[in-house]
Amino acid sequence: MIESVSRRAFSSSSGTYNVRASELARERKLNIFNVTVQFLDDTQHSFQIEKKAKGNVLLEQVYQHLELVEKDYFGLQFTENGAPPSATNTEITRWLDSTKSVKKQVGANAQFWLAVRFYPPEPSRLAEEYTRYLLCLQLRKLLLDGRMNAPKNTALLLASFTVQAELGDYNVSEHPPNYLSDLCLLPKQNAEDERRIRELHKLHKGQLPADAEANFLEHAKRLDCYGVESHPAKDYNGKDIFIGVTSIGIVVFQNNIRVNTFSWSKIVKISFKKKQFFIQLKREPSESYDTVLGFNMRSGRAAKALWRCSVERHGFFRLRAPRRRALLAALGALAGLAAPTVPRTETMALEDARRSRSTNRSFVRRSSSRNRERSVSCASPAGMRGSRVTAHTEPPPRPAWTDVSRPVSEIHEGDFLERVLRIPLSYVDESESGSEGNETNECNGGVRIRLEAGSDGLFGFNVRGGGGAPVLVSRVASRTRLQLQEGDQVISINGQDVDEMTHEQVVQLIRNTRGVLTLVVKPNAVYAPEEPGSEEPEACFVPLCSEESRLSGDALEQSILLLGDGLASGNALKQYDTLLRRLPDEPTNVSKLPCNLNKNRYRDIAPYDSTRVILKNGPTGDYINASYINMEIPNSDLVLTYIATQGPLSTTVGDFWQMVWESESNLIVMLTVLTERGRTKCHQYWPKVGNIPLKATNSLTILTTSEQNHGHYVRREMTMKENTGACRNVTQLQYTAWPDHGVPEDQAAFISFTQLCSQLRKHAALIPTVVDPDEIEEERELDPPMIVHCSAGVGRTGALVLCEVALALAARRQPLYPLDLVRTMRAQRPMCIQNASQYKFVCESIQTAYTQGLTQPCSESGSN
C-alpha cells in the first residue's frame, strides 16, 4: 500500500530525457557540409549536404535550384587552390565526380563553379532557350579569359551579338559614341574594336535577346576550338602542343592552329601509361601494321585526366546508352583501371527532349553590363533586358545581315553591309505570323505536317540527303520546331515521294511550293553525330546578280565583304565542303593502265584524261601525273596557265624534266620539303650547286648554277641543255614555310611569295599576225605555263593557284569568289585544295592582301 501511494505521489512530477536521440541529432547536425556554387551569371548560392554525400546529390540540388531541364550538358568544376578556373589555372581544374564523395574530392575547400561540360555540336538542337542562354554565357567567359581563341573578325561579330542581346537595337539617342567602353567584350579591347562592333551592332536591328544568342551560337560552334577541352602536351619531337577532346574525336593544336583530327570512327583504343597518352588508329586496308601515336604529358595525373576526358566524351556523344562496367572492374589491379562511365548520353538527352516537346519556361536574363533600357522600337515585354522571355512565342532568329529590302529613306549610317550583302538564307523565316494554321496528323505510319510560308516564301527548315540517301531535316528555325525536329526523315512532299529524288530536286520542289507545304515525315529520335562538313551550307555565297546590286557599289568590295562574312560565320567553309572533289563523268583511265600505275605517287590522285599533260618524247611513255589548269581573267585577254603535277618520284625525274622542256616553261614552284615526318614527299630532282650536271634523260642535262635562301623560300637558278645545243634557264622557287598537316603562319609572306611567282612568269613575245603588209591584226599573248607541284599536286598546289588568280582579279577590280575558282580548278584537276584549312588560309590571305592594299592595278599584258 505504501509503495502504491508513493508511485501516485511522484507520477505528477515525473519525466524522461532520451539522451541517445539527442546525441544522434547533434551528430546529424554536425555532419552537414556547406558548399558554395557560383553560376554562369556570376551569382552564388549555398547548398547543404551531408558530409558523406556523393556528387550526384549536390548536382541534383544545383539542377533543381536552377530548374535546369537539359542538365546532362553541365557539371560542377572545382580547383585545387580554390581560385576560379582560368587560362592559367586549367591544369588543376577538376570536374565533380557524381559517384564519389564530395568531401573526399574537394577537401575543406567547398567552392564550385557551374560550367558546360559537354558542348552540343548543334546548339539549335537544344530544346530550351534557357540552356542556350547558359551556353552563351559560358562561351563569353571562355573568349574573355583566353581559354578560347577566335579570329578577329569572328570575335567582333560575336561581341556585336552580345551587345544586341544585352542592349537591344542601336539607337543614336540612347547610345553615344562611347557606349561600348563600359562593356567588357573582348580581351585587350580598344577603340577601333569598339568602332567595328558598333557598326556590326547597327546591322542586328530587330533581333530579340533569343535571336542574338541563337546567332551567337551558330557562329561560335564553327570555331576550331569550340567545345574543346585542351590538355598541354608534347609531340614526339618535343614541340609544345595541345591535345583537345571534342564531340567528333581528338584534335591536336599547335600555335592555336588545328594540325590534326582523329575522329572517333578512326580510333580503335585510347590508353595511358605513366606520363604518356596513346591513340591507336584503325588499320587501313593497305597497311599491315597498327598505327599507335604517343604523346608526352606533363605528369601522370595529366595523362590520366586526358584519358578520362576522352572516355567520357566518347561515351556521351557516341554511345546510345551508358556503357556497363565490366564485372572484373571491382578487382582493381587485376582488371586494370576501370574506364569511367557517364550516367546518361546525348542520345538519351535528345530523346527526352524529343518526347517532351516542352515549351520553354520563362526565366530572368541577367547581364554582366550596367542596366540600360531597350530602344523604344522593340520595348515589348518579351524584348526587355532582364525581363521574362518565352522562346516559342517569339519569331525565329534573324540572320546577321538580312535579305529584306527596305526603302532608301530607312537606310541609316552603317547599313552599307546590309544593303550590299544580299544573301539568300536557306531556312530563316522572319515573319512573325505563319505558325497559325499549321497542322499535324498521322499518315501511313508517318506524320503529316502542314507549314505555311512566311512573307518571303520560306518555311523555316533545311534538308539534306537525296539521291538514294534518306532525305532528313537538318536545320529548323525556332517557330517550326513545334512541328519539325532535326533528324526527321521526309517521306513525301505535297504528295510526291522523295525516295528517287536528288537533293537539288527536293530543294526545288520545296521552293516551288506556294502557300501551304505538306510534308509526311517519320520522326527520328536518334541523332548520330556527323563528321564536320557533312551538312549542307546555310547560305549561298554568290550574290544575286541583280541590277540593283551591280549599281549599289564596287563589285570587288562587295565580294570581299561577302567573303569576310562567310569566314566570320563559318559558312564559307561549309560551302567549300559541299564541292565535288572530282568530277564523276571525267575518266582517268590512262593513269590506271598497268604501265602507268607505278608513276603515281598516290593511287587516289590521278589526272583527268581530258586535261592531262601528254609527253611527246617521254623517256618512259607519254604519261605523267600532271594536268593543265587554265584560269581566265574576265574582261581581259589574260589567261593564267599552269601545269599542276605531283612531286617527282625517283623513277619519274626524266618525265618531269621532259615536261618542263616541252612546255617551254621557265618557272618551277615547289611547295613542299623533300621529307616530312619521316616520309618522302618529293624526290630531289635537281643537282646541288657545284655538283656535276644531272643526266635527266638521254637528251637533257640539268645544272644548278646558284641557290639563295630567303628564309621562307629558296630560289635556285638552273640551266637545261639539250644534245642539239639548245639551252634554257629555269628558276625554281621552293616554299619551305608550309608545315605538314597545317598552314603557313605568315599570310603576308605567302602573299609576297605568290606575287614573286607572278613576276617571274615568262610571257611570250607579242607576235603580230600579218595578213596585209599595210595592216596588222590585234596582237595575241601566249604564255608558257607555270609548273607548280607539292607532293600530290593538288592541295598546296591548288592554294597557290587560287591565291595568284585572286590577286590578278583584285588588281583588275574584278569581283572574286574563291568557291567558284576552286570549282573551276577541280574541273581540270581533281581535289585541288585538299582541305578546309588550306581553303580558309588562302581566303584569309586574300582578305589581308585587299585590306593592306597589296593588290595594285596592273596592265593587262604586264606581270602580276
Q: Is the pLDDT of residue 288 over 50?
A: yes
Question: Measured between alpha carbons, how far is 327 from 339 in angstroms, rounded to an integer?
Answer: 12
147-198 pLDDT per residue, tens: 888 888 888 999 999 999 888 888 888 888 888 888 888 888 888 888 889 8
Distance CA 341, CA 72 (A): 13
Q: What is the pLDDT of residues 518-534, one digit of tens each?
A: 888 887 544 443 333 33
Indicate the pLDDT class of residue 293, thresholds 50, 70 and 90: confident
- Report pLDDT for 189: 87
Helix ranges (DSSP H) in 453-527: 503-511
Among the ranges 153-157, 443-447, 785-789, which has the highest mean pLDDT value? 785-789
Indicate if the pLDDT at residue 598 is higher than 70. yes
Q: How confident is the model at residue 661 (pLDDT cuts 50, 70, 90)?
A: very high
Q: pLDDT at position 499, please?
A: 80
Closest by Cα among 818, 783, 848, 779 to 640: 783
Q: What is the pLDDT of residue 515?
A: 78
Q: Where are the beta strands (DSSP E) in 653-726?
A: 667-670, 675-676, 679-680, 694-695, 700-709, 713-722
User: Poorest-confidence range of 146-160, 324-338, 620-634?
Assistant: 324-338
Assign 735 a pLDDT band (cuts: 50, 70, 90).
very high
What is the 8-class DSSP label of residue 696?
A: -
118 close to 313: Cβ distance less than 8 angstroms: yes
Question: How many other C-beta atoms are found inside a 10 Å radius of the C-beta of residue 542?
Answer: 14
CA distance 278 to 287: 19
Which tens digits make up the pLDDT trace of 742-760?
788 888 899 999 999 999 9
Counting other chains too, the contacts that 593-596 makes at CB distance below 8 Å and 24 or more residues apart are 593/623, 595/621, 595/623, 596/621, 596/623
- pLDDT per position as a tens digit, 566-577: 887 777 888 888
Beta strands in 432-565 (DSSP E): 439-443, 446-452, 461-466, 469-476, 489-493, 496-497, 516-522
Report the run of H or E that residue 623 belongs to, with start and end.
Answer: strand 623-632
pLDDT at 136 over 60: yes
Kind plus residue range of the DSSP H or E element containing 36: strand 32-38
Pairing of strands 639-645, 786-789: parallel
C-alpha cell of residue 808: 590578278
Q: What confidence tens digit (pLDDT) does each residue in 228-238 have? A: 888 889 887 77
In this structure, of 539-543, 637-641, 672-676, 737-741, the range with the lowest mean pLDDT score is 539-543
On the question of pLDDT at 328 being above 50, the answer is no
Higher pLDDT, 11 or 709: 709
- Average pLDDT of span 372-386: 33
pLDDT digits (tens, 9 = 90+) for 81-100: 777 887 766 557 788 888 88
Average pLDDT, the chain: 77
Question: Cβ neighbours of residue 681 under 8 Å, at least 6 residues apart?
Answer: 647, 672, 673, 674, 675, 790, 791
Lowest mean pLDDT among 166-180, 432-446, 692-706: 432-446
Q: What gap in Å lies between CA 320 and CA 526, rounded to an integer?
A: 8
How far is residue 473's CA from residue 488's CA, in Å, rounded to a whole number? Answer: 5
786 pLDDT band, cuts 50/70/90, is: very high
The gap between the terminal CA atoms of the chain, to the nearest Å, is 129
Q: What is the pLDDT of residue 662?
A: 93
CA–centroid distance for 735 within its chain: 27
| Widest pairwise Cα distance in the chain | 160
Question: In percent, how much of the chain has pLDDT > 90?
Answer: 26
Q: Which three cell numbers stand for residue 229?
A: 577541352
* pLDDT value of position 455: 62
Per-residue pLDDT, 264: 87
Letter string b/e over residues 282-300, b meaning 16 or more CB atoms within 10 A of that residue's CB: eeeeeeeeeeebebbbeee
Q: Could you say which DSSP state residue 59 is in?
A: H
pLDDT band at 770 (very low <50, low <70, confident <90, very high): very low
The pLDDT-based confidence of 857 (bands split at 50, 70, 90) is low
In this prediction, residue 331 carries a pLDDT of: 42
- Give all strands (DSSP E) within 40-132, no chain letters: 44-50, 74-79, 93-95, 111-116
Given a cut of 50, whether residue 790 has pLDDT beyond it is: yes
pLDDT at 448: 83
In angstroms, the CA 160 to CA 630 distance is: 42
State pLDDT tens for residues 100-121: 888 888 877 788 999 999 999 8
Percent of the chain with pLDDT over 70: 75
Indicate which residues carry an active-site annotation: 790
Q: Write out pLDDT tens, residues 253-285.
A: 888 788 788 888 888 889 898 888 998 888 776
d(CA 694, CA 627): 25
Identity of the residue numbered 451: L
Chain segment 797-853, per-residue pLDDT in tens: 999 999 999 999 998 888 888 998 999 999 999 999 988 889 999 999 998 888 888
Distance, CA of 478 to CA of 208 (rounded, Å): 13
pLDDT attached to residue 280: 87
Q: How far apart are alpha carbons 62 and 597 in whole angstroms?
A: 64
pLDDT at 542 over 60: no
pLDDT grade for 859, boundaries at 50, 70 and 90? very low
Which of 100-109, 322-331, 439-448 has the least mean pLDDT? 322-331
The DSSP line for 8-23 is HHHHTT-----HHHHH
DSSP assigned state of 80: T
Whether the per-residue pLDDT at 538 is higher than 50: the answer is: no
Mean predicted confidence (pLDDT) in 696-706: 94
Predicted pLDDT at 780: 47
506 or 789: whose pLDDT is higher? 789
Confidence of residue 738 (pLDDT cuts 50, 70, 90): confident
Domains of the chain plus CATH, in order, are 31-116 (3.10.20.90), 123-224+364-400 (1.20.80.10), 229-352 (2.30.29.30), 589-761+781-793 (3.90.190.10)
